[in-house]
């Protein structure tokens, strides 16, 4: 920990970011009341229970962060839920333990065509949500071949299964990513779905794998008529987020400080700007786009506002009345950073009426509360 750098020595001032702030695209902790005012009367489209009730749904990666929330919402809509899980040494899947007995689980490696075909043939799903992927970007720097194989071959396998056993299939949603946009020119922000305005410039193998995921979904829709739903999710956060992701790293440290087990906050790049959406809003978007059958075209799932990681920490400290030093750990910096991602969500709002109704304050409060309720996850260093 001797290599830690005080955050003040690393902070950069970007004139374009200051301009975006004046235009209302940047969240300022000192003006959080003004930001929160916008959420008071906000409403969003919600799924139609009459459409979903009784539908057979397959969720790949159901035991993951987003998968578990998606399963909860679809259960509430009356769906019959099936999910793929990777085999563990012990039969424990923390995120979905509370759903045991209400969902059917199928052990599977999504790159195994034999197994995936068997599952599709057995279930004959009406809707598929393909969330299974290696999703932690730093892993793709450490193990690029494995991430590429899992994310791309796995997606091809899912779509081949959909093509062969999809007679009753109405939608196959693929969780693509804002990491596809990658090195966005600050003058192109906020990012739209139009690749003429915002071409893909991925800065990681993960981002490249998600570009391929989207192209596979597009190809199978246009070549074989597979009902592909393409979502480009920006950072979705909240309770159950993996401990290695930046928001959870911050939320856990807040709890440790409140419990007097820590006297500082340590993060990676404080200048990165991200667009955070609550996971419950994100999975609601997945469901609505599938229900409305928005086939073969991409949709940003974003809040439309960004915040620096530095200001995310400041806001979390402000909400919990904490005053400690904040430091940067150079080992947590990516080899190639994506400095700025803010997504325009006008398209999804205009076409299906979706907008996020939970704020960044909800994300922080829900995330912190989760780690208060799970003390066994405290004190773990995540890189």
What pLDDT is stored for residue 234 in this prediction?
A: 97
What pLDDT is stored for residue 90 in this prediction?
A: 55
Task: Identify the band that residue 263 occupies on the pLDDT scale cut at 50, 70 and 90.
Answer: very high
- Does residue 347 have a pLDDT over 80? yes
Q: Tens of pLDDT along 288-327?
A: 999 999 999 999 999 999 999 999 999 999 999 999 999 9
Q: Look at residues 308, 335, 289 and name the one whose alpha carbon lies nearest to residue 176.
A: 289
What pLDDT is stored for residue 260 in this prediction?
A: 94
- Does residue 366 have a pLDDT over 70? yes
| Burial status of residue 159 (CB atoms within 10 A of its CB: 0-12, 13-18, 19 or more) | buried
What pLDDT is stored for residue 377 in this prediction?
A: 80
Dist. CA 283–CA 289, nearest whole Å: 10
What pLDDT is stored for residue 86 in this prediction?
A: 86
Q: Look at residues 307, 321, 314 and name the one whose alpha carbon lies nearest to residue 277.
A: 307
Report whether 128 contacts 169 (CB < 8 A).
Answer: yes
What pLDDT is stored for residue 383 in this prediction?
A: 46
- Does residue 333 have a pLDDT over 90? no
Any residues with CB less than 8 A from the CB of 148 and at least 6 apart, and which?
140, 205, 208, 209
Q: ∠ CA 306-34-283 to the nearest 5 degrees?
A: 45
What pLDDT is stored for residue 33 in this prediction?
A: 94
Q: Tens of pLDDT along 58-96?
A: 999 999 999 999 999 999 999 999 999 987 655 668 899
Q: Tens of pLDDT along 157-168?
A: 999 999 999 999
| CA within 13 Å, CB half, 111 | 10
What pLDDT is stored for residue 91 in this prediction?
A: 61
Report whether 269 contacts 308 (CB < 8 A).
Answer: no
Report whether 120 contacts 162 (CB < 8 A).
Answer: yes
The pTM assigned to this predicted structure is: 0.95
Q: Tens of pLDDT along 194-211?
A: 999 999 999 999 999 999
The residue with tokens 């066994």 is 376
- Does residue 252 have a pLDDT over 70? yes
What pLDDT is stored for residue 381 in this prediction?
A: 62
What pLDDT is stored for residue 382 in this prediction?
A: 52
Q: Tens of pLDDT along 85-124?
A: 987 655 668 899 999 999 999 999 999 999 999 999 999 9
**Candidate from 15-24, 225-234, 341-350 with smallest mean pLDDT:** 15-24
Task: Identify the band that residue 358 occupies on the pLDDT scale cut at 50, 70 and 90.
Answer: very high
Task: Identify the band that residue 380 occupies on the pLDDT scale cut at 50, 70 and 90.
Answer: low
Tell me the average pLDDT across 263-283.
96
**Percent residues over pLDDT 90 in the chain:** 85
Ordered DSSP codes for 45-85: ----HHHHTT-EEEEETTTSHHHHHHHHHHHHTT-EEEEEE
**Structural domains of the chain in order of their starting residue, each with its CATH number:** 5-42+240-275+305-341+349-375 (3.90.25.10), 49-236+279-301 (3.40.50.720)
Query: Average pLDDT of the chain?
Result: 93
Task: Identify the band that residue 249 occupies on the pLDDT scale cut at 50, 70 and 90.
Answer: very high
| CA within 13 Å, CB half, 51 | 14
């Amino acid at each position: 920990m001797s290599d830690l750098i005080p955050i003040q020595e690393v902070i950069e001032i970007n004139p374009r970011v200051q301009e975006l702030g004046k235009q209302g695209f940047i969240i300022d902790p000192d003006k959080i009341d003004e930001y929160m005012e916008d959420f008071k009367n906000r409403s969003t489209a919600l799924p139609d229970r009459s459409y979903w009730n009784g539908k057979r749904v397959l969720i790949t990666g159901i035991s993951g962060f987003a998968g578990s929330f998606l399963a909860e919402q679809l259960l509430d809509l009356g769906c019959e839920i099936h999910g793929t899980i990777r085999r563990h040494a012990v039969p424990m899947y923390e995120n979905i333990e509370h759903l045991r007995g209400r969902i059917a689980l199928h052990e599977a490696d999504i790159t195994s065509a034999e197994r995936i075909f068997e599952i599709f043939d057995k279930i004959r799903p009406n809707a598929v949500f393909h969330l299974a992927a290696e999703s932690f970007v730093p892993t793709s720097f450490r193990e690029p071949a494995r991430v590429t194989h899992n994310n791309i071959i796995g997606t091809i396998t899912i779509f081949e299964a959909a093509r062969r056993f999809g007679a009753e299939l109405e939608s196959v949603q693929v969780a693509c990513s804002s990491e596809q946009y990658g090195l966005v020119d600050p003058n192109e922000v906020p990012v739209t779905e139009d690749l003429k305005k915002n071409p893909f410039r991925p800065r990681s193998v993960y981002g490249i794998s998600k570009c391929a995921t989207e192209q596979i979904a597009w190809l199978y829709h246009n070549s074989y008529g597979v009902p592909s739903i393409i979502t480009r999710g920006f950072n979705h956060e909240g309770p159950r987020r993996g401990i290695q992701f930046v928001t959870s790293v911050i939320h856990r440290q807040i709890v440790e400080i409140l419990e007097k087990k820590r006297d500082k906050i340590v993060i990676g790049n404080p200048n990165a700007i991200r667009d955070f959406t609550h996971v419950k809003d994100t999975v609601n978007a997945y469901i609505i786009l599938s229900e409305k059958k928005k086939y073969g075209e991409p949709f940003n799932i974003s809040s439309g506002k960004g915040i620096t990681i530095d200001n995310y920490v400041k806001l979390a400290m402000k909400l919990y009345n904490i005053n400690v030093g904040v430091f940067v750990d150079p080992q947590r910096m990516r080899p190639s950073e994506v400095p700025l991602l803010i997504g325009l969500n006008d398209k999804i709002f205009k076409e299906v009426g979706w907008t996020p109704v939970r704020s960044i304050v909800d994300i922080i409060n829900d995330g912190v509360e989760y780690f208060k309720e799970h003390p066994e996850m405290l004190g773990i260093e995540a890189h």
